[in-house]
Amino acid sequence: MKLRYIILLAVSALVLVLDQATKLYIDRSMALHSSITVIRDFFNITYLRNKGAAFGILANSSYRLPFFLLISAVAVCVIGVVISRLKEEQKLAALSLSLIFSGALGNMIDRVRLGEVIDFLYFHWYEHYWPAFNVADSAICVGVFLLGIDMYLEERRGK
């Protein structure tokens, strides 16, 4: 089996298990909107549900669920095709795309199962709050960051 597929399978398995296990734990052990302070004035575990996209975008739209499911399915398919076309030496690109793939899949599972996404990681600085997120969201963000680094390095190699 080619290395890029091994990376995709390993990263996806790890992220999906961690994402779904943490969401299931939060759902079963906390009441909706309850919060546990982990680091005072900085980090809480807060059980929230997000019907929208990042920052609650389109949360009240009547077509939000089909739209988000379609976008997630297209993203997963496109990333799968891109990964299949990577060269063997493009390990960082494979890792990056695998993180984005598994994050999109993790949130898509929530949307199919619940019609919304469970979020629980809630960072803030005193009264200034960042929107809550989850493991899948983190995988997507790290994947996009690493993909940016990979693109920069590829451009430098080309010069």
Catalytically annotated residues: 119, 137
State the CB neighbour count (10 A cutoff) for residue 110. Answer: 21
Q: Is the dihedral of CA 79, 145, 95, 47 positive or negative?
A: negative
Residues ≥6 apart with Cβ < 8 Å to 113: none
C-beta separation of 98 from 147 below 8 A = no
Pairing of the two strands 35-39 and 117-125? unpaired
Residues ≥6 apart with Cβ < 8 Å to 137: 54, 103, 107, 119
- What are the backbone dihedrals phi and psi of residue 34, each rounded to the nearest 5 degrees, phi first? -80, 160
